[in-house]
Amino acid sequence: MEIIIREAKKSDINNLAVLKQQVWISTYADEGVTAQFSEYVLSEYSIENIRKSISDKSKLTLIAIYDKGIVGCVEILLSPQSPVNAIEPCMEISTFYILERFQGLGIGKKLLQECFKVITRLNHYKVWLTVYYKNQKAIDFYAKQNFTVIGETFFLLGKDKHKNLIMLRNIDK
Protein backbone atom coordinates (compact mmCIF):
# COMPACT_ATOMS: atom_id res chain seq x y z
CA MET A 1 0.00 0.00 0.00
CA GLU A 2 1.14 3.51 -0.75
CA ILE A 3 1.51 6.10 2.02
CA ILE A 4 0.40 9.57 0.96
CA ILE A 5 1.43 12.60 3.00
CA ARG A 6 -0.39 15.87 2.37
CA GLU A 7 -1.51 19.02 4.11
CA ALA A 8 -4.79 18.69 6.00
CA LYS A 9 -7.89 20.23 4.39
CA LYS A 10 -11.29 21.25 5.72
CA SER A 11 -12.74 17.98 4.42
CA ASP A 12 -10.40 16.14 6.85
CA ILE A 13 -11.70 17.82 10.02
CA ASN A 14 -14.05 15.07 11.24
CA ASN A 15 -11.53 12.31 10.56
CA LEU A 16 -8.74 14.28 12.26
CA ALA A 17 -10.89 14.85 15.35
CA VAL A 18 -11.64 11.14 15.67
CA LEU A 19 -8.02 10.14 15.02
CA LYS A 20 -6.65 12.58 17.61
CA GLN A 21 -9.22 11.52 20.21
CA GLN A 22 -8.51 7.83 19.65
CA VAL A 23 -4.72 8.16 19.78
CA TRP A 24 -4.83 10.43 22.83
CA ILE A 25 -7.08 8.00 24.69
CA SER A 26 -5.02 4.92 23.79
CA THR A 27 -1.80 6.71 24.81
CA TYR A 28 -2.80 8.48 28.01
CA ALA A 29 -5.73 6.57 29.54
CA ASP A 30 -3.41 4.23 31.42
CA GLU A 31 -5.59 4.59 34.51
CA GLY A 32 -8.93 4.59 32.68
CA VAL A 33 -11.14 7.44 31.55
CA THR A 34 -12.11 10.01 34.17
CA ALA A 35 -14.43 13.00 33.89
CA GLN A 36 -11.43 15.34 33.75
CA PHE A 37 -9.88 13.21 31.00
CA SER A 38 -13.11 13.12 28.95
CA GLU A 39 -13.65 16.86 29.27
CA TYR A 40 -10.15 17.52 27.98
CA VAL A 41 -10.39 15.15 25.01
CA LEU A 42 -13.86 16.33 23.95
CA SER A 43 -12.82 19.98 24.23
CA GLU A 44 -9.26 19.86 22.85
CA TYR A 45 -10.13 17.59 19.93
CA SER A 46 -13.54 19.02 19.11
CA ILE A 47 -14.55 19.62 15.51
CA GLU A 48 -14.33 23.38 16.11
CA ASN A 49 -10.81 23.20 17.58
CA ILE A 50 -9.59 21.03 14.71
CA ARG A 51 -11.12 23.50 12.24
CA LYS A 52 -9.33 26.39 13.97
CA SER A 53 -6.06 24.48 14.09
CA ILE A 54 -5.87 23.65 10.39
CA SER A 55 -6.88 27.22 9.50
CA ASP A 56 -4.22 28.71 11.79
CA LYS A 57 -1.35 30.10 9.68
CA SER A 58 1.09 29.68 12.58
CA LYS A 59 0.69 25.89 12.32
CA LEU A 60 0.93 23.30 9.60
CA THR A 61 -0.93 20.01 9.86
CA LEU A 62 0.14 17.14 7.66
CA ILE A 63 -1.82 13.91 7.40
CA ALA A 64 -0.83 10.39 6.41
CA ILE A 65 -3.23 8.39 4.28
CA TYR A 66 -2.77 4.64 3.98
CA ASP A 67 -5.12 2.78 1.66
CA LYS A 68 -8.31 4.87 1.95
CA GLY A 69 -8.18 6.61 5.30
CA ILE A 70 -6.22 8.94 7.52
CA VAL A 71 -3.96 6.94 9.82
CA GLY A 72 -1.68 9.65 11.20
CA CYS A 73 -1.04 13.34 11.54
CA VAL A 74 1.64 15.76 12.58
CA GLU A 75 1.32 19.40 13.57
CA ILE A 76 4.28 21.75 13.28
CA LEU A 77 4.30 25.10 15.06
CA LEU A 78 5.81 27.50 12.54
CA SER A 79 7.01 30.09 15.09
CA PRO A 80 10.34 28.97 16.54
CA GLN A 81 10.37 28.47 20.30
CA SER A 82 12.98 27.48 22.85
CA PRO A 83 12.27 24.17 24.59
CA VAL A 84 14.82 24.93 27.31
CA ASN A 85 16.86 28.03 28.08
CA ALA A 86 20.12 26.50 26.84
CA ILE A 87 18.75 25.88 23.32
CA GLU A 88 18.16 28.59 20.74
CA PRO A 89 14.63 28.86 19.39
CA CYS A 90 13.77 26.07 16.96
CA MET A 91 10.71 24.51 15.39
CA GLU A 92 8.32 22.37 17.42
CA ILE A 93 6.35 19.30 16.48
CA SER A 94 3.38 19.82 18.79
CA THR A 95 1.40 16.74 17.74
CA PHE A 96 2.57 13.48 16.22
CA TYR A 97 -0.08 10.75 16.14
CA ILE A 98 -0.29 7.42 14.34
CA LEU A 99 -3.17 5.02 14.92
CA GLU A 100 -1.76 2.07 16.87
CA ARG A 101 -2.64 -0.62 14.33
CA PHE A 102 -0.71 1.31 11.64
CA GLN A 103 2.46 1.76 13.66
CA GLY A 104 5.53 -0.07 12.39
CA LEU A 105 4.64 0.36 8.71
CA GLY A 106 6.98 3.31 8.02
CA ILE A 107 4.21 5.90 8.24
CA GLY A 108 5.74 7.79 11.16
CA LYS A 109 9.13 7.89 9.50
CA LYS A 110 7.62 9.23 6.28
CA LEU A 111 5.66 11.90 8.20
CA LEU A 112 8.85 12.98 9.99
CA GLN A 113 10.73 13.22 6.69
CA GLU A 114 8.04 15.58 5.39
CA CYS A 115 8.31 17.63 8.60
CA PHE A 116 12.05 17.95 8.11
CA LYS A 117 11.52 19.16 4.53
CA VAL A 118 9.07 21.84 5.72
CA ILE A 119 11.34 22.94 8.55
CA THR A 120 14.46 23.20 6.38
CA ARG A 121 12.54 25.16 3.72
CA LEU A 122 11.92 27.67 6.52
CA ASN A 123 15.69 27.78 7.16
CA HIS A 124 15.58 25.97 10.48
CA TYR A 125 17.68 22.94 11.25
CA LYS A 126 16.54 21.83 14.69
CA VAL A 127 13.21 20.49 15.85
CA TRP A 128 11.89 19.52 19.25
CA LEU A 129 8.89 17.73 20.70
CA THR A 130 7.60 16.37 23.96
CA VAL A 131 6.65 12.77 24.65
CA TYR A 132 4.89 11.18 27.61
CA TYR A 133 7.59 9.54 29.74
CA LYS A 134 5.60 6.27 29.98
CA ASN A 135 5.21 6.02 26.18
CA GLN A 136 8.31 3.88 25.64
CA LYS A 137 7.26 2.87 22.13
CA ALA A 138 7.24 6.53 21.04
CA ILE A 139 10.47 7.32 22.91
CA ASP A 140 12.19 4.42 21.15
CA PHE A 141 10.82 5.54 17.77
CA TYR A 142 12.10 9.09 18.25
CA ALA A 143 15.49 7.83 19.43
CA LYS A 144 15.77 5.74 16.23
CA GLN A 145 15.05 8.97 14.31
CA ASN A 146 18.02 10.65 16.07
CA PHE A 147 16.10 12.64 18.67
CA THR A 148 17.81 12.95 22.05
CA VAL A 149 16.34 13.74 25.45
CA ILE A 150 17.36 17.22 26.58
CA GLY A 151 15.04 17.77 29.52
CA GLU A 152 11.56 17.32 30.89
CA THR A 153 8.37 19.28 31.25
CA PHE A 154 4.93 18.66 32.69
CA PHE A 155 1.53 18.56 31.05
CA LEU A 156 -1.19 19.80 33.39
CA LEU A 157 -4.57 18.09 33.26
CA GLY A 158 -6.61 19.80 35.90
CA LYS A 159 -4.48 19.55 39.05
CA ASP A 160 -2.59 16.50 37.85
CA LYS A 161 0.94 16.88 36.46
CA HIS A 162 2.05 14.39 33.82
CA LYS A 163 5.77 14.19 33.10
CA ASN A 164 6.91 14.51 29.50
CA LEU A 165 10.40 14.28 28.05
CA ILE A 166 11.70 17.04 25.77
CA MET A 167 13.51 15.58 22.76
CA LEU A 168 15.57 17.49 20.18
CA ARG A 169 16.94 16.61 16.76
CA ASN A 170 19.32 18.38 14.42
CA ILE A 171 18.27 18.24 10.78
CA ASP A 172 20.96 17.97 8.11
CA LYS A 173 21.20 20.91 5.71
Give residue 1's identity as a one-letter amino acid code: M
DSSP states of 32-99: B--HHHHHHHHHHT-HHHHHHHHH-TTEEEEEEEETTEEEEEEEEEEEEE-SSTTS--EEEEEEEEE-
Separation CA 94–CA 101 (nearest Å): 22
The better pLDDT of the pair 4, 1 is held by 4
Q: What is the CATH number of the domain that holds 163?
A: 3.40.630.30
* Tens-digit pLDDT profile for residues 28-54: 888 888 888 899 999 999 999 999 999
Amino acid at 50: I
Host domain of residue 12: 3-170
* pLDDT per position as a tens digit, 103-158: 999 999 999 999 999 999 999 999 999 999 999 999 999 999 999 999 999 988 88
Instruction: Compute the residue count for the chain.
Output: 173
Of 73, 80, 77, the closest CA to residue 59 belongs to 77
Number of domains making up the chain: 1
